[in-house]
Amino acid sequence: MRIVVVLCLVVAFAIAGATWLIVPALMRQPAAAAVEAPKPAPAARVLVAAQNLPAGTIVKAEHVRWQDWPESGVADGYIVEGKTPEPLKNVVSAAVRRGITAGEPITPQRLVQKGEAGFLAAALSPGMRAVSVKIDAVSGTSGFILPGDNVDVMLTSQYEMDGRGGEGKRETKSYAEIVLSNVRVLAIDQNMNDVVDEHTPAKVGATATLEVTLRQAQIIGVASQLGRLTLVLAGLEARQEPTPSAGHKYVEELEVSSFLKAVKQGGSESSETGEGGKSVSVWRGTKLSSVEPR
């Protein structure tokens, strides 16, 4: 029995000794090398649209941005940072020929440069037309209307009508009305630089080109034969308003001048006399007479 106990003790001590020798040695072994992460594919920086750019948009600097792009996915025509000389030169101030979605690379094939044939047509919104209106320093707001602004088109005219009393006399009446509202100015004469350059000085042109629908172009054609057209500059908030083609209340001369109203309607107007009394001024046609009250 003692022999068995002794043998068990010997085996136990042998196992303990082996453990004491082997475990520290295993712990001192270097850890397995960490698995190296795959190296990222080389990337280029490509010029893309920072927002949706519908057809007809005049590109500005804030409309584009640089974006990382896998080199294997860079196609011909992409504008690459560091490889394309003066990358923004042929992009900013160009017109979008076909719509570009946000994040999509910008290529020269999708743009029309200033001075190229078809630039004005490319600057038009889909389904719109361009029509020209004669202006001067007054009707063009002294040159402060620039391409990219929104304007109302006001017609000022005169017409003849039968005079009062049926005596065969003709009267000339004046009126003004808004025939188009909230339309975009595309160009002043042939100048469209102002669309993208806020520092371009105001220019007093002789012709303004407006973006209109086909129906509105017809209205402009008729209105230009009726009288004088004046552009009325609209504020930025007006661009969010609907664009009616007509229907605004007209203004007649009698609403502007109380004097003409008294003349036209044959009314009377009292005035103070020098001694504190009152006299009545009576208009008969265009003749003024003064009558003392009884």
Report all structural domains of the chain as residue ranges with CATH numbers, in order of start. Answer: 43-122 (3.90.1210.10), 127-254 (no CATH), 257-291 (no CATH)
Under a CB-based contact definition with an 8 Å cutoff, are residues 41 and 73 in contact?
no
pTM of this prediction exceeds 0.75? no
Higher pLDDT among residues 143 and 110, named by residue: 110
Predicted confidence at residue 187, as pLDDT, reads 81
Give residue-wise pLDDT tens across range 202-250: 556 688 889 999 999 999 999 989 899 988 888 766 555 544 444 457 7
Q: What is the pLDDT of residues 53-87, one digit of tens each?
A: 988 888 888 999 999 998 888 888 899 988 888 88
- Token readout for 146 is 């620039």
- What's residue 270's pLDDT? 44
Residue 71 confidence (pLDDT): 85
For residue 252, list its beta bridge partners: 175
Q: What residues contact residue 47 under an 8 Å CB cut-off, 6+ apart?
A: 64, 65, 66, 67, 78, 79, 80, 81, 84, 87, 88, 91, 105, 106
Reply yes or no on whether the pLDDT at 133 is more than 70: yes
Quick one: tokens of 243? Answer: 């664009």
| pLDDT (0 to 100) of residue 51 | 93
49's CB contacts (< 8 A; 6+ apart) are 63, 64, 100, 101, 102, 103, 104, 106
Q: Does 113 score more than 60 pLDDT?
A: yes
Instruction: Report how far residue 25's alpha carbon sits from residue 190's, in angstroms, rounded to the nearest whole number.
Output: 88
- For the chain, give the percent of residues with pLDDT over 70: 61
**Which pLDDT score, from 0 to 100, does residue 257 have?**
72
pLDDT tens digit string along 2-17?
A: 777 667 776 676 777 6
Q: Can you give the pLDDT at residue 204?
A: 60
Rounded to whole angstroms, the Cα distance separating 246 from 248 reads: 6
More confident residue, 248 or 21: 21
Spatial CA neighbour of 131 closest among 53, 214, 59: 214
Residue 271 confidence (pLDDT): 44
